[in-house]
């Protein structure tokens, strides 16, 4: 496991449609469009490469409830892909920070609740010891970090579907900056995994 001090990387990961959306226009919580592609080797290997060097998971409340409601059930599940089980175990064991203004206590172990602006929470986390800080599919968190130019590694899977509407990840007005391509993988069903590092 990679341990870095004083300069922990902030790594964000999310699934995007080919027309740049992360959710359907009519039902943001309906992730059925993701499922055929999320179980490909490309998507599973991509996620594994992101969580292995990470020691902290950063999530918004909605994603925390979704992720932490589902993933622990994968551990020991008959026929589970070892990569899925590996991620599930990591998520249970990792330090978790959940951004929420409504939760008063965390129903999950090893979880800290943070009711503060995303950029402040992450700036504080970056001063602590540990591996990467991995933001898991929480679009509102990723948007706030992009706006504050706090993302060190931008990772996403692109799935070959048009959603035809819905929220976009990259809003106008983001800080101008350069990124360098670290890895690109394409595979089954036309799934593409891309990882970019911020050039500073």
Q: What is the pLDDT of residues 60-99, one digit of tens each?
A: 999 999 899 999 999 999 999 999 999 999 999 999 999 9
Instruction: Tally the C-alpha atoms within 13 A of residue 81's C-alpha that lie toward its C-beta.
Output: 13
Report the pLDDT value the prediction gives residue 31, as an integer from 0 to 100: 87
Report the pLDDT value the prediction gives residue 28, as an integer from 0 to 100: 84
Distances in whole angstroms, Cα of residue 45 to Cα of each of 18, 19, 101, 189: 20, 23, 34, 15
Report the pLDDT value the prediction gives residue 120, as an integer from 0 to 100: 96
Give yes or no for residue 199 having a pLDDT over 90.
yes
Instruction: Say which residue, 3 or 126, is predicted with more confidence.
Output: 126
CA distance 122 to 113: 13
Q: pLDDT confidence of 2, banded at 50, 70, 90? A: very low
Beta carbons of 24 and 166 less than 8 angstroms apart: yes
The tokens describing 180, both together, are: 């360098």
CA distance 166 to 25: 4
Q: What is the pLDDT of residues 106-156, one digit of tens each?
A: 889 999 999 999 999 999 999 999 999 999 999 999 999 999 999 999 999
Beta carbons of 9 and 153 less than 8 angstroms apart: yes
Q: What is the pLDDT of residues 11-60, one digit of tens each?
A: 999 999 999 999 999 988 888 999 999 999 999 999 999 999 999 999 99
* DSSP code for 71: G
Q: What is the pLDDT of residues 160-180, one digit of tens each?
A: 999 999 999 999 999 999 999
Report the pLDDT value the prediction gives residue 84, as an integer from 0 to 100: 96
pTM listed for this prediction: 0.93
Q: Which CATH superfamily is domain 10-162 in?
A: Dihydrofolate Reductase, subunit A (3.40.430.10)
Q: pLDDT confidence of 1, banded at 50, 70, 90? A: very low
Average pLDDT over residues 167-196: 96
Give yes or no for residue 158 having a pLDDT over 70.
yes
Report the pLDDT value the prediction gives residue 97, as an integer from 0 to 100: 97
What is the CA 128 to chain-centroid distance, rounded?
A: 20
């Amino acid at each position: 496991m990679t341990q870095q001090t004083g300069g922990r990387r902030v790594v964000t990961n999310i699934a995007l449609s080919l027309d740049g959306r992360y959710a359907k226009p009519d039902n943001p919580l309906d992730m059925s469009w993701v499922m055929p592609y999320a179980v490909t080797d490309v998507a599973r290997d991509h996620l594994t490469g992101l969580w292995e060097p990470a020691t902290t998971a950063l999530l918004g409340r909605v994603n925390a409830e979704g992720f932490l409601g589902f993933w622990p059930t994968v551990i020991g599940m008959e026929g589970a892909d070892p990569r899925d089980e590996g991620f599930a175990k990591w998520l249970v064991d990792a330090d978790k920070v959940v951004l929420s203004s409504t939760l008063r206590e965390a129903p999950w172990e090893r979880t800290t609740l943070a009711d503060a602006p995303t950029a402040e929470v992450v700036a504080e986390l970056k001063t602590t010891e540990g591996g990467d800080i991995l933001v898991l599919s929480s679009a509102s968190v990723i948007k706030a970090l992009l706006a504050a130019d706090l993302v060190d590694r931008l990772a996403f899977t692109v799935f070959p579907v048009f959603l035809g509407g819905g929220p976009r990840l990259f809003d106008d007005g983001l800080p101008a900056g350069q990124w360098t391509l670290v890895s690109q993988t394409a595979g089954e069903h036309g799934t593409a995994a891309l990882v970019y590092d911020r050039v500073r």
